[in-house]
Amino acid sequence: MPLSNAEIARLVEDRRVHKRVYIDPEVFELEMERIWGQAWIYIGHESQVPKAGDYFTTNINHKVPVVMVRDKHGAVHVLHNRCGHKGAKLVEQRSGNARGAFRCAYHGWTFQHDGQVLKIPNETGYDNTGFDLKDSCNNMQKVAQSASYRGFVFATLSSDAPDLETWMGGAKDCFDNLCDRSPEGEVEVAGGVLRYEHDCNWKYIIENLNDTMHPMVVHQSVVQAAQDYIDTLPEEAVKQRSEAEIILPFGGSYENMEHMGITGFKYGHHYDGGKTSIHADYSVDPEYHKRMVAAYGEERTKEIYSFNTHNTLYYPSLTIKTAVQNIRVVRPVAVDKFVVETWSFRLKGAPDTMLQRTLLYSRLINSVGSMVGPDDLECYRRVQDGLHSDASEWVEMYRQFGRDEDLGDRVRGGGTSDLDMRTEYAAWRDYMLQEAFS
Amino acid sequence: MSADIDLIAVEDFLYQEASYLDNPDLEKWLALYSPDGTYWMPASENQHDPVNEISHFYDDRVMMEIRKRNFVHPRASSKDSAVRCSHLIGNIRHAGRSDNGDLIITSNFQVVMFYREEQRVFAGTYQHHLIERNNSFLIRSKRVNLINPEAAHKSIIIYL
């Protein structure tokens, strides 16, 4: 029997969450239907499909295959990746170009890039059968809604979801800041993607993003290893290495982390940082700075730099780093498995050194071979294993409860508070009880 | 194959390097690299550029030194579980010389890795650029081309 709403409601309290949300396959299946099947899910960036017929495929939750494609008029569509005939997945490759039309490998039906069925072979066999090729049910179906904000394409399987910008609320400022860091106001995907399999529940990574009580513990080893070696180098040699300014802030003190602050929004979004973050002390490339000032003027450039966030979560699928220009995308697979994709972005009009630093960051922090990601994953794994114990049914999120400041469209709290987790579970509950959009 | 290349010596050297990764001894492994040595594992096929494209690994000496210290750090929780590998290297070929005279050696590898109660298999080709020195070699660069660089891998906590 599926979980009743009363049972679901009991899994989340204001300061505790039940262990079943992490380890119960039934809860996972419901999450796929009610969270991932209702929320706006990040699909990809428009720069991944620059030309007519270019496509990119992914799943919207653990199963539903979709394809993002650009048509000959320049519009980007998100379609169900399913043939209108027998239901075969139409596009198998992750990306490519469907010249002219999508063609099904099975019986050769073809479809325009907007999903409209184009031709079917030996059509006379349908004469006088009641079959109507013009019936839209034969097309590749569009997802309920898709939309793009500054090139970032989202889709939702729910026709009840509010429009994308309303749904993002104040968290939208972070997309603006990411793009405004380009002298041309635009970013594009560059340098390829990293994929990282995590054998644990998908929620650990989004709860970890702005959990600032963990870096000085989990990442102590890499910070010390880096510091120990750096101490043997001449000072001039250290200055030329971006690795130091990327790795060392992970050892930041509790006071520094607290100072970043966390801001939470409706629908589970949040970011930490704002005035400052662990990325705030990165050196500024002089050539980049020159181009920014030429584009925006001194004052606006300073304003753009001064909004410095660490991670911004667009619950549940996307987290972005504005100051670093990379994003991570969560793709759930099973109750104890998900894949994280790390995409790096070029700031259009910026010197190549900026993309090079972004890629260095992605490699140092987010790759399977990094010295940061594997220690995070190790801890998620241990939680996944530990929660099977019956010692307690609950996971706590008490830190600084009751001290959050309600600012109307957002809630502000201390950087080391559990405001991020509480924000996520308020949304979790609303989506799971199907009250999010009512 | 040119006559002046002692492929047996090259083979010995590659086997020696692999043995330092089978039961990881990064101190000894690192000593096989030149001061400007690099280790590169691209994240896509036919990648040309480690700086403007993303890689799983692209370490120079500095990153190798940091990794060596991190690998044995008592608080690196991902290293609490032992990692043991078995490298098999074959199809060793001399593939010419680089502009600066380094010997270019390509080979095929299969690595079985045991980590966190699980056995995984990696396969692909290596490309080594070797500096000939005192009847042995130093590694200027090692490139690891996985047959599945684009796949979603789990953590890879040791050089392959």
A311-328 pLDDT tens trace: 999 999 999 999 999 999
Distance, CA of A61 to CA of A330 (rounded, Å): 10
**Band of the pLDDT at A19, cuts 50, 70, 90?**
very high
Distance, CA of A192 to CA of B37 (rounded, Å): 24
- DSSP 8-class letter at A363: I
Task: Determine the pLDDT at residue A325.
Answer: 97
**Average pLDDT of A198-206?**
98
Q: Where do we find the tokens 């099973």?
A: A334
Please judge whether B57 and A367 are an interchain contact, meaning their C-beta atoms are less than 8 angstroms apart: yes
Q: What CATH number is given to the structural domain containing B38?
A: 3.10.450.50
Instruction: Look up residue A247 and give its two tokens.
Output: 């790795």
Distance, CA of A177 to CA of A294 (rounded, Å): 17
Q: Where do we find the tokens 């006379």?
A: A124
User: What ipTM describes this predicted complex?
Assistant: 0.97
Cis omega (within 30 of 0) for bond into A249? no
> Per-residue pLDDT for A279 more than 90?
no
Q: State chain A's mean pLDDT as an integer.
A: 96
Is B2 domain-assigned?
no
Task: Determine the pLDDT at residue A421.
Answer: 98
For β-strands B33-42 and B136-146, DSSP reports them as parallel
Task: Determine the pLDDT at residue B4.
Answer: 76
A344 touches chain B (CB under 8 A): yes
CATH 2.102.10.10 fits A41-149, yes or no: yes
Please judge whether A373 and B75 are an interchain contact, meaning their C-beta atoms are less than 8 angstroms apart: no
How many domains is chain B built from? 1
Find the domain containing B116 and state its range. Answer: 7-146
**Minimal C-alpha gap between B5 and chain A (Å):** 34
Task: Determine the pLDDT at residue B1.
Answer: 45
- The structural domains of chain A, with segments of one domain joined by +, span 41-149, 169-432
Q: Which one-letter amino acid corresponds to residue A365? A: I
A88-134 pLDDT tens trace: 999 999 999 999 899 999 999 999 999 999 999 999 999 999 999 99
Task: Determine the pLDDT at residue A348.
Answer: 98
Partner-chain residue, chosen from A222, A243, A379, that has the shortest CB–CB distance to B62: A243
Which top CATH class is A169-432? alpha beta
Helices (H), A283-418: 286-296, 298-306, 352-361, 373-386
Q: Which residues of B touch A363 (CB under 8 A)?
A: 54-58
Q: Which one-letter amino acid corresponds to residue A244? A: A
- Write down the number of H helices and E strands in chain B: 3, 6
Strands of A41-45's sheet in order across: A41-45, A152-156, A145-149
A212-223 pLDDT tens trace: 999 999 999 999
Residues in chain B, pLDDT under 70: 1-3
A349-364 pLDDT tens trace: 999 999 999 999 999 9
> Contact, A141 vs A135, CB < 8 A?
no
> Per-residue pLDDT for A238 more than 90?
no
A406-421 pLDDT tens trace: 999 999 999 999 999 9
> Per-residue pLDDT for A241 more than 90?
no
Partner-chain residue, chosen from B54, B76, B155, that has the shortest CB–CB distance to A363: B54
Distances from the Cα of B76 to the Cα of A217, A232, A386, B53, B124, angstroms: 10, 21, 19, 28, 28
CB within 8 Å of chain A, chain B residues 70-129: 70, 73-80, 116
What DSSP element (H or E) covers B105? strand B103-115
